[in-house]
Amino acid sequence: MLKHRGFPGRLKSTDYQFTLRRANPKGATPISRRERKNDRKPADRRADAGFMEALWQQFGEHPFERGNLDAGRLSWLFGREVVAAEDTFDPEDYEALLVIDVSMARASFPEAFGE
């Protein structure tokens, strides 16, 4: 499992986790699309925006390996702002490639892009 050096481990001053410390010996937790409802707590929305900002600062428009990024946090963005970068995407693979859908991410999280 690739560890993304310099990527924040969690949202500052909270317990919202962004990365894993070690690989799960049973295999990676699958990434699945989670629906974000309008009644989500403000803290959850800040965690999503903070995670998107960290992804943008670390990777920009370039494809990136899932590595030690938290599957739960990725799942809140997957299928919308973060999409598979390859046709043979395996949601249970630490080496799966992802990429930010910039237009969707800018529309959903303008604060993450300084807008």
Domain ranges, ordered by start, for the chain? 60-113
Q: At residue 70, what is the residue type?
A: D
pLDDT in tens, 76-107: 999 999 999 999 999 999 999 999 999 999 99
Contact yes or no for 65/2 (Cβ under 8 A): yes
What mean pLDDT is reported for the chain? Answer: 91
Residue 77 is inside which H or E element, if any? helix 71-77
In three-state secondary structure terms, 52 is: helix
Look up the pTM and report it.
0.90
pLDDT band (50, 70, 90) for residue 32: very high
Q: Tell me which residue of 76, 20, 7 sits closest to 48, measured CA to CA.
A: 76
